[in-house]
Structure 1
Amino acid sequence: MLPKVNQILYIQVNSIDPDEAQQEYKSRIADVNANYISMEVPIHVGTGRLKRLYAGDQINAYFMTEGGVKNYFNTVVLGFKEEVIRLVLIKPPEPDHITKVQRRNFLRVPAELEIAVKATEQIMFTAITDDVGGGGVSFLCESRVPIKTHDVLSCWLLVPYRNGAIEHANFKGEIVRIKTLENGKLIVMVQFTEIADVERQRIIRYCFERQLDFRKR
């Protein structure tokens, strides 16, 4: 299902500047057709300032539907259209490329991904995840690592996709549970506390690709 006229589209612009990549903007959709979606010039969600876009800009976007479902998709700026106001034209997504996620029911999948973890300036280590999802991750680490429940961790997750592309997802998360396994290692369960939508979308995309792989087996 594509977004509809007058719906609000929330976007983040892909950028080599990590601060800019995390900024969220919103825009009202003016028109939807087979060739493009037109939207008003986006404004920053926090400051209300206008965001200047350029043809070719890569965008991560989502719109809300009933039940609090976020519909994520990736798109690109095609150009501009001058009417009563200036409109931005973006490429409409294929319906099967829209990822639907209900915030309170994030998909979670088993996954062995590399993750870098920073607990303090002195405590930094790498680990392998046990599972990942849009609401958090769990990872395995050695029992000698000095972490405890309710610690807040800064993490960098390596996210590979089926097409061979690799991205990183950065987030902060709180340890909600630690369990000691029979082999002496710890399994650490982390819930996201700070994560940009563009970072969460990368993880969600990976989860859906993994789910499709499982269904094909």
Structure 2
Amino acid sequence: MSGHQLKINDQLEFMVSDRNTYRGAYQSQVRAITDEVLFLDVPRNKERIMIINTNEQLEFYRVTETTIWRYRGTVMTQGVSSRLMKIKQPLHIDKIQRRNFFRVPVNILTKFARADETKPMGEWEWEETRVRDLSGGGLCLINKTPLKAGLQLVIDLPLNQETLQLWGEVKRVGMECDDEGLFYVSGVEFLDIFPSDQDLVVQYVFAKQRSLLRKGNTPGGEEGTLNS
């Protein structure tokens, strides 16, 4: 495995999606490397510092033109005053396929139809939905009514100036609640997606992710349109 070694001044990226307080895109940089310790800038999102506990397991990424490298290690100390974080060596390193890796938060209003073998496709009933996050391999839908795992569906996915019509299968369903009440969260995996369509999805995802990291913004959303 070549190209995985970190170097001083390498730019690193942190995508935090499972912590409410620190959810967002963060950036860091390699400052020093020894056989025992990796020294990084404390990850930042604009002026916000990502606080990490000692002995916590941490993941971060280095994106090149051809590859994404994922690094996993244990935090030894994080000194806010010194603005450096120490991570224990050696790191666990993975090479990630660019096509399916990044899942970015979005806020795309659109519609889907449940596959119904008893009716022609033109008679399927379309329902409004919202895409909450997106990757090259699938997406997350937000609905007021539950979907069943195993359900196959077709969904309109507006990306910039083009709308893709994609097939998918519901793999998991959960239930959440916010100020507006109860809603259902469905993880959908794309089925038999054309490579050209997947390329468009991946390009959109990477453009979104790179824009968030460049601006240092917390991932938000980009609202699409409800097409007829």
TM-score range, shorter chain: 0.3 to 0.5
Structure number with the bigger relative contact order (C-alpha 8 A, sep ≥ 6) is 2
Structure whose residues are more often helix by fraction: 1
Q: TM-score, normalised by structure 2?
A: 0.46
Q: TM-score, normalised by structure 1?
A: 0.48
